Amino acid sequence: MRDTGTGRLDPDQVEFFRSNGYVVGDDLLKPAAFAGLREHFERKLAALPADERPEDMDVPHFTDPELFRWLLDPDVLDVAESILGPDIALFSAHFFCKPAGDGKGVPWHTDAWFWRETIHPPEQAVTIWLAIDPSTAENGNMVVIPGSHRQQADGPYREVRSEESVFTWELDVSKMPVDTDRAVPIPLRPNQFSIHSGGLLHSSAVNRSTIRRCGFTMRYMSTAVRFNHEGVGHKHQIFLARGEDRAGNVYAQPWRAYPELVDARGKGQRVVTADR
C-alpha cells in the first residue's frame, strides 16, 4: 500500500497489478475531498426515490456534474495514469451501495463482458473502487481471482434468476468453473481503494450484516481504447480526463448534465449494447 499523499502507484504496486490484475492503496483523496464526497453521496442517497435500490445508483455523473470534482481529481487521475499512461478517458462511474440486511450480491463476472459493445478492447479499462464505508467480509467486500485477467475469462454467461443479485447475467460456472480456493478478499477502510482490470474475475456476497457497504467506482481507460459512439452514443458517453485523444473518440462535456442518456438506457445497471 502507498502512504498518504504520495500520488501515483509505486513500481512495486504497478508490477503487482500487471501480475495479479488488481492492487490496493491507501488514502486516495485528501481528507477534505473525501469528506466532501461522502457528504455528497449521503445527500444523493437520502434523495433516492423509495422504489429505487441503492445498489443501482449507476452513471450518476450523467445527471450530476458536481461529481466531476472527484472523478477528475488529480490524485485519482495520478493513480489511473500509473496503469494507463498519460492519456486518460473517464469511462463510467457508479455508487455501489449495499444496504445493511439485504444488500444484493454480485455474481462471478468480468467487467469486460458487460462492456464488450461499448469499448474496444474492453479488458483494457480499469476500475478504481473507493471505499466510502468500511468494506468487510461481513458486509460483502469484493473477492477476486488473482491473475484471471490474463486468462480471457469472458464466458459463457447465463441469466441470473435471483432477487439477491445486482446483475441479470453471470458467468456460467457450470461450464467455466471458478477456482474459489484461489479467491482473495479485498477489505477496505474508508478512503482506501482498489484498482482492478476489466478482465479480472470478481464477485461479492449479499450484505446480511448490520453495516452498510458503499463504494464509489470510477472507471477509466486509455484514450487509445475505442469508444463505440456510433452504436451506443445515445445511451453512454465518455469524457477526456487527462492528456489527448489517441483513437478518434468523441467526448462529452463534464460541465453539463446528460439526462437523455439515462432516459435512453433506463435506470439501474444495464448491459449497454447497440441493439437495446
pLDDT band of 267, cuts 50, 70, 90:
confident
Q: Please say if the pLDDT value at position 214 is more than 60.
A: yes
Determine the topology of domain 11-265 in CATH. Jelly Rolls (2.60.120)
Structure confidence by residue, pLDDT tens digits, 157-169: 999 888 899 998 8
Q: What is the predicted pLDDT for the residue at 152? A: 67
Q: What is the pTM of this model?
A: 0.95
Write down the domain spans for the chain: 11-265
C-alpha cell recorded at residue 174: 457450470
Q: Which residue's entry shows cell 446483475? A: 167
Q: Beta partners for 25?
A: 193
pLDDT band of 268, cuts 50, 70, 90:
low
Q: CB burial class (10 A; 0-12, 13-18, 19+) of residue 158?
A: middle
Structure confidence by residue, pLDDT tens digits, 144-202: 999 999 986 667 999 988 889 999 889 899 888 899 999 999 999 999 999 999 999 99
Answer with the residue of higher pLDDT: 269 or 111: 111
- How far apart, in Å, are the Cα atoms of 24 and each of 99, 119, 196? 24, 25, 9
Tell me how far the alpha carbon of residue 241 is from its chain's centroid.
16
Average pLDDT over residues 18-38: 98
If DSSP codes are grouped into helix, strand and coil, which group holds residue 253? coil
Q: Please say if the pLDDT value at position 46 is more than 70.
A: yes
pLDDT band of 70, cuts 50, 70, 90:
very high
Q: What is the predicted pLDDT for the residue at 2? A: 34
The CA-to-CA distance between both ends of the chain, in Å, stands at 41
